[in-house]
């Protein structure tokens, strides 16, 4: 499947150094970095002259004062996403918050009065500086991705395999990567790690094997571990297979792919992936992955990301970044539940803030089943294209029924990965019991993906107040094979976003990057059109099950105020109202009105967090 990235992303050479993101979140590229002092003086002189010439009509070359108004030339160019979805001309930022919003005349007058009364006090307060966005561009609240994997994204950018349209092409990409890296050529024992292969997009649609890698002599004796696009399968080299020693017959909630003789061929699904031994990433690896991801995030207009899976190590890493002030975006982390570890819900401190902070960790991520693409989603009835299986649960019903109430009663938000209708049903059973007599808005449990739902379970989501955390880009990726796999009736309950809302369910939108493109506008486009980026679908150019399209307002809310609710931060984030944080994005055109086939042409001009640009300028 092709990536639908619209904007060139940072695709640096795998071991290339990245510009560090500065601690205040202001990521500026200092163009004079590598120059001699003399050059710097000349460049500075030059910029002063240019600034003098430009200053009269282009205010953004001047330092942004602490307080300012950002205005549109139109009276409604700022989408506040408040309760009435109101639109205004100007937004006033003061002390990293939204101070006021309204027409230019109104906000000027109110500012003057506030100064008079001593309500605002900083050096720049007396004269409110007014800045204008370009004609035609708009401001929306900071965009949020409710389900993504930050470090995995960074890692996936090192050796991306999405483009490979055959097993040979994938092997070829890995070959080029090894050849381009002196480290690998010098040290044959260094692990080669890649991400993004998708056998369903290959001519034969069969699992690859270790032997496919071994066919190229460069791979002989090398440890290679390649993650599938959906993150649910690992493809390894013979060297890695050998190091694993004797394999168990059977893995609960996982599959070891074997040949007719019963020998493992080099692919491990879901829980069986844990059998694969790889070196832990170094701190330098983690910092590189983190920097790739957050730079791409702010360039895509993301101010907040819900990370759908911290391991104890990655949680510690994020805490270190937050403590050092190196957290350019807001991260809302879900910590993995590991059935082999001791229960930690009653002895772990939650990292909680109302939205003003940068890192939160107060939710647990539990895996109920596998994925649709790899056939691991747990269904009530067998797969239409493989009647021998119903998929599988990764955790037993008994275990889910015991740990879900436990985490909830210890005050954790419980976010359960559930794809198949059966997995969703089992998790909703557990939620239903645990939520009896409980104020759901204090706990806000979430179904992560909630892909295939029976009608009855859609109604239960609405009744219980469970949040369906869904990914619209999955719908337009999977629409090509979904009916073959599920049959013509059951497929109607797949990615049925409109039906979920109509049953009173709450949604929140995400991308699942790196499984899908990070660009939130790709999700927006998918949700409102249900066609591929080329305007196609199995049901024609009107969209795949077009009745399930979201309105643009719903889609915008799904990536702003809904994720804020889903992360307990709606009093400070998700809309542009006085007292909320000044997190917003300037977009080059009005995504709420442009033609559908133009949505993906939209550029992010600036991403602002706490009133300061983290990307672009205002
Ligand atoms: C936490 O829960 C576990 C399992 O229910 C229990 O064994 C343990 O004693 C509890 N610890 C605390 C500190 O309450
Ligand atoms: C439920 O909890 C929310 C806070 O999450 C609170 O605002 C609300 O008042 C509570 N409702 C009831 C009925 O206690």
State pLDDT tens for residues 157-208.
889 999 999 999 999 999 999 999 998 999 999 999 999 999 989 998 899 9
Q: Which two tokens stand for residue 503?
A: 């049953």
Distance CA 42, CA 159 (A): 40
pLDDT of res. 122: 73
pLDDT of res. 61: 54
Q: Please give the C-alpha separations between residue 579 and each of 120, 281, 352, in angstroms, as whole numbers.
A: 13, 40, 19
Q: How far is the CA of 467 from the centre of ligand 1 (A)?
A: 28
Q: Which of 548, 507, 512 is nearest to 528 (CA)?
A: 548
List the residue whose alpha carbon is closest to atom 5 of ligand 1: 343
Give me the residue label for tokens 């205005």. 71
**How many angstroms from the chain centroid is the CA of residue 144?**
8
- Checking if the pLDDT of 40 tops 60, the result is no
Ligand 1 atom closest to Cα of residue 406: 5
- Where b means 16+ CB within 10 Å and e means fewer, 569-596 reads bbebbbbbbeebbbbbbbbebbbbeeee
- What DSSP assignment string belongs to 250-279? --TTEEEEE-TTS-EEEEEEEGGGGG---P
Q: Please give the C-alpha separations between residue 44 and each of 55, 202, 534, 558, in angstroms, as whole numbers.
A: 15, 54, 46, 44
Give yes or no for residue 439 CB within 6 A of ligand 2.
yes
Give the model confidence (pLDDT) of 405-416 as tens digits: 999 999 999 999
pLDDT of res. 253: 87
Instruction: Give the percent of the chain with pLDDT over 90.
Output: 83
Q: Which two tokens stand for residue 515?
A: 């499984």
List the residue whose alpha carbon is closest to atom 6 of ligand 1: 343
Return the SS3 of 306: strand
- Checking if the pLDDT of 540 tops 50, the result is yes
- Checking if the pLDDT of 8 tops 50, the result is no
Residue 256 bridge partners (DSSP): 268
Q: How far is the CA of 407 from the centre of ligand 1 (A)?
A: 11
**Rounded mean pLDDT of 342-359?**
96
Pick the CATH number of 153-275 from 3.10.310.70, 3.20.20.220, 3.60.21.70, 3.30.2130.10: 3.10.310.70
**Rounded mean pLDDT of 207-212?**
97
Query: pTM here?
Result: 0.85
Q: Please give the C-alpha separations between residue 318 and each of 144, 203, 282, 350, 539, in angstroms, as whole numbers.
A: 18, 41, 14, 14, 43
Distance CA 481, CA 475 (A): 11
Instruction: Give the percent of the chain with pLDDT over 70.
Output: 90
pLDDT of res. 461: 97
Q: How far is the CA of 347 from the centre of ligand 1 (A)?
A: 8
Going across the sheet that includes 233-236, the strands are 192-197, 224-228, 233-236, 264-270, 254-258
Return the SS3 of 334: strand
Distance CA 521, CA 517 (A): 10
Q: How far is the CA of 54 from the centre of ligand 2 (A)?
A: 53
Residue 452 bridge partners (DSSP): 494
Give the range among 367-376, 443-452, 534-543, 568-577 with minimum mean pLDDT. Answer: 367-376
Q: Which two tokens stand for residue 138?
A: 């708009």
Give yes or no for residue 441 CB within 6 A of ligand 2.
yes
Q: Which two tokens stand for residue 524?
A: 């927006």
Q: Which of 372, 365, 364, 411 is nearest to 390 (CA)?
A: 372
**Contact predicate 154/288, CB 8 Å:** yes
Q: Which ligand is nearest to the CA of 413?
A: 2
- Classify the C-alpha dihedral 457-460-466-472 as positive or negative: positive
Mutual angle of helices 421-434 and 397-409, in 10-degree steps: 40
Give yes or no for residue 36 CB within 6 A of ligand 1.
no
pLDDT of res. 231: 87
Query: Chain-wide mean pLDDT for the chain?
Result: 90
Q: Which ligand is nearest to the CA of 568?
A: 2
List the residue whose alpha carbon is closest to atom 9 of ligand 1: 346
pLDDT of res. 75: 96
**Contact predicate 162/3, CB 8 Å:** yes
Distance CA 207, CA 213 (A): 12
pLDDT of res. 16: 32
Going across the sheet that includes 90-94, the strands are 97-102, 90-94, 68-71, 129-132
Give yes or no for residue 185 CB within 6 A of ligand 2.
no
Q: How far is the CA of 316 from the centre of ligand 1 (A)?
A: 22
**Rounded mean pLDDT of 273-282?**
92
pLDDT of res. 60: 52
- Checking if the pLDDT of 277 tops 70, the result is yes
Distance CA 87, CA 74 (A): 10
Q: How far is the CA of 452 from the centre of ligand 1 (A)?
A: 35
Give the model confidence (pLDDT) of 453-491 as tens digits: 999 999 999 999 999 999 999 999 999 999 999 999 999
Give yes or no for residue 380 CB within 6 A of ligand 1.
no
**Rounded mean pLDDT of 487-508?**
98
- Checking if the pLDDT of 447 tops 80, the result is yes
- Classify the C-alpha dihedral 598-600-604-608 as positive or negative: positive
Q: Which ligand is nearest to the CA of 409?
A: 1
Q: Please give the C-alpha separations between residue 461 and each of 141, 368, 449, 503, in angstroms, as whole numbers.
A: 27, 17, 13, 8
**Rounded mean pLDDT of 582-609?**
98
Distance CA 92, CA 107 (A): 7
Give the range among 44-53, 125-134, 418-427, 596-605 with minimum mean pLDDT. Answer: 44-53
Cis peptide before 217 (omega within 30 of 0): no
């Amino acid at each position: 499947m092709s990536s639908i990235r619209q904007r060139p992303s940072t695709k640096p050479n795998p071991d290339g150094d990245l510009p560090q993101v500065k601690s205040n979140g202001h990521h500026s590229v200092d163009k004079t970095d590598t120059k001699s002092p003399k050059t710097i003086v000349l460049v500075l002189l030059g910029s002063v002259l240019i600034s003098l010439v430009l200053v009269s009509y282009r205010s953004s070359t001047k330092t942004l004062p602490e307080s300012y108004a950002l205005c549109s030339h139109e009276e409604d160019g700022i989408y506040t996403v408040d309760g009435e979805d109101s639109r205004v001309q100007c937004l006033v930022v003061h002390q990293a918050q939204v101070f006021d919003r309204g027409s230019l005349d109104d906000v000027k007058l109110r500012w003057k009065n506030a100064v008079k009364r001593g309500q605002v006090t900083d050096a720049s307060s007396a004269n409110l500086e007014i800045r204008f966005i370009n004609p035609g561009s708009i401001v929306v609240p900071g965009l949020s991705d409710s389900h993504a994997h930050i470090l995995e994204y960074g890692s996936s950018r090192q050796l991306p395999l999405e483009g490979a349209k055959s097993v040979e092409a994938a092997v070829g990409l890995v070959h080029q990567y090894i050849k381009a890296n002196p480290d690998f050529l010098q040290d044959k024992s260094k692990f080669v790690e890649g991400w993004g292969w998708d056998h369903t997009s290959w001519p034969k649609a069969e699992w690859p094997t270790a032997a496919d890698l071994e066919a190229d002599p460069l791979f002989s004796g090398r440890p290679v571990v390649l993650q599938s696009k959906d993150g649910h399968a690992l493809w390894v080299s013979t060297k890695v297979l050998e190091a694993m020693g004797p394999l168990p017959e059977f893995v609960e909630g996982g599959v070891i792919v074997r040949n007719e003789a019963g020998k493992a061929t080099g692919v491990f699904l879901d829980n069986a992936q844990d059998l694969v031994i790889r070196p832990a990433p170094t701190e330098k690896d983690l910092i590189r992955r983190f920097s790739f991801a957050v730079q791409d995030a702010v360039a895509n207009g993301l101010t907040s990301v819900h990370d759908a899976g911290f391991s104890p190590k990655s949680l510690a890493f994020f805490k270190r970044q937050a403590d050092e002030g190196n957290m350019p975006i807001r991260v809302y982390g879900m910590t993995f539940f590991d059935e082999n570890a001791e229960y930690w819900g009653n002895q772990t401190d939650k990292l909680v803030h109302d939205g003003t902070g940068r890192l939160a960790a107060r939710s647990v991520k539990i895996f109920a089943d596998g994925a649709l693409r790899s056939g691991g989603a747990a269904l009530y009835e067998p797969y239409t294209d493989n009647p021998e299986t119903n998929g599988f649960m990764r955790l037993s019903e008994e275990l889910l029924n015991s740990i879900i109430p436990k985490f909830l009663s210890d005050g954790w938000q419980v976010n359960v990965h559930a794809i198949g209708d059966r997995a969703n049903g089992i998790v909703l059973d557990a939620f239903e019991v645990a939520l009896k007599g409980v104020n759901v808005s204090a706990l806000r449990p979430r179904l992560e993906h909630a892909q295939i739902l029976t009608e009855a379970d859609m109604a239960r989501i609405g009744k219980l107040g469970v949040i369906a955390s869904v990914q619209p880009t999955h719908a337009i990726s999977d629409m090509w094979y979904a009916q073959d796999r599920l049959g013509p009736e059951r497929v109607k309950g797949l990615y049925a976003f409109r039906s979920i809302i109509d049953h009173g369910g709450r949604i929140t939108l995400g991308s699942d990057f790196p499984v899908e493109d990070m660009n939130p506008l790709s999700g927006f486009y998918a949700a409102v059109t249900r066609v591929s980026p080329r305007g196609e679908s199995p049901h024609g150019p009107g969209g795949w099950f077009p009745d399930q399209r979201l309105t643009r307002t719903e889609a915008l809310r799904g990536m702003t105020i809904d994720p804020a609710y889903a992360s307990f931060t709606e009093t400070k984030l998700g809309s542009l109202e006085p007292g909320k944080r000044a997190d917003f994005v300037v977009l080059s055109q009005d995504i709420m009105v442009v033609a559908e086939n133009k949505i993906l042409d939209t550029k992010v001009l600036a991403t602002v967090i706490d009133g300061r640009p983290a990307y672009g300028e205002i």
